[in-house]
Amino acid sequence: MLSHDRVWAAIDALAERYSLSASGLAKRAGLDSTAFNKSKRLASDGRPRWPSTESLAKIIEATGASLDEFMALLNRKPDDDALPVQHPTVPLVGFAQAGAGGFFDDSGFPVGHGWDLIELPAQSKAGSYALKVHGDSMLPLYRDGDVLIVEPGATVRKGDRVVVKTNAGEVMAKVLERQTARSVSLVSLNPEHPNRELPVAEVEWVARIVWASQ
């Protein structure tokens, strides 16, 4: 029998499965961050408050879960074995591809289809993607074959490790030293490679590195 408690338990289980809190799930689905708070599950007079079908549709779409997956969570019994946590997958892009035209939009997000996919670490956000390091230009911090999770649109500050793409198609991983209205100053990860001072007009995008596989 469908019950108020089971519906909310399924929402909590879906959030947990995708390494989200209830409020994080609501935000990812474009809802108010408090929509799934426990305090919102009962009305002021104690009557049960049910989530709308629109809200359910949005969280299923936002996590990439299937309707069957949500129904399985809905029909779980308290003593059922917990379903394994699943993380969304993200595109895996090579630095050569990142530097070529047509692979990214103006904000630094990959476009198109046919990418290899890897599992997104729990601490990363939707919209992130992976870059695979080639060569030794980023030693000793990043080695050939390491995977960097990049988050376009994230606020970058002095000292952050970032990936920068220039209008000429050069893609580099550096440490942000300073960013002004006129220029971007970058410190090389490898002391054998020079630091860079780039005019803002020559920078296509800057994206923060939020995780590395080493």
pLDDT at 78: 54
**CA–CA separation, 137 vs 129, rounded Å?**
21
- Please tell me what DSSP assigns to residue 139: T
User: CA angle, 147 as apex, 13 and 87 as ends, to 5°?
Assistant: 10
Do residues 44 and 114 share a domain?
no
Kindly state whether residues 111 and 197 are assigned to the same domain: yes
Asked whether residue 149 carries a pLDDT value surpassing 60, the answer given is: yes
Give yes or no: residues 67 and 93 share one domain.
Answer: no
pTM confidence score: 0.53
CATH assignment of the domain containing 95: 2.10.109.10
Query: Cβ–Cβ contacts within 10 Å for residue 10, how many?
Result: 22
- pLDDT, tens only, 70-79: 888 888 765 5
- Could you tell me if 206 and 150 are in contact, meaning their C-beta atoms sit under 8 angstroms apart? no
Query: For the chain, what percent of residues have pLDDT higher than 90?
Result: 21
Spatial CB neighbours of 116, under 8 Å, sequence gap ≥ 6: 91, 92
Q: Which of 74, 99, 126 is the last residue of a domain?
A: 74
pLDDT digits (tens, 9 = 90+) for 101-124: 544 555 555 555 445 666 665 555
Q: Are residues 70 and 154 in the same domain?
A: no
**Last-in-domain residue among 74, 105, 133:** 74
Residues 57 and 151 in one domain: no
Tell me which residue of 142, 94, 147 sits closest to 118, measured CA to CA: 147
Q: Do residue 12 and residue 95 come from a single domain?
A: no
Report the mean per-residue pLDDT for the chain. Answer: 79
* Measured distance between the N- and C-terminal CA atoms of the chain, rounded to whole angstroms: 48
- Tokens representing 154 are 């994230």
Tell me: do 103 and 36 sit in the same domain: no
8 Å CB contact between 152 and 131: no
Asked if residue 55 and residue 156 are part of one domain, the reply reads no
> Does any domain span residue 82?
no
Q: What is the pLDDT of residue 1?
A: 61
Q: Which domain holds residue 138?
A: 89-212
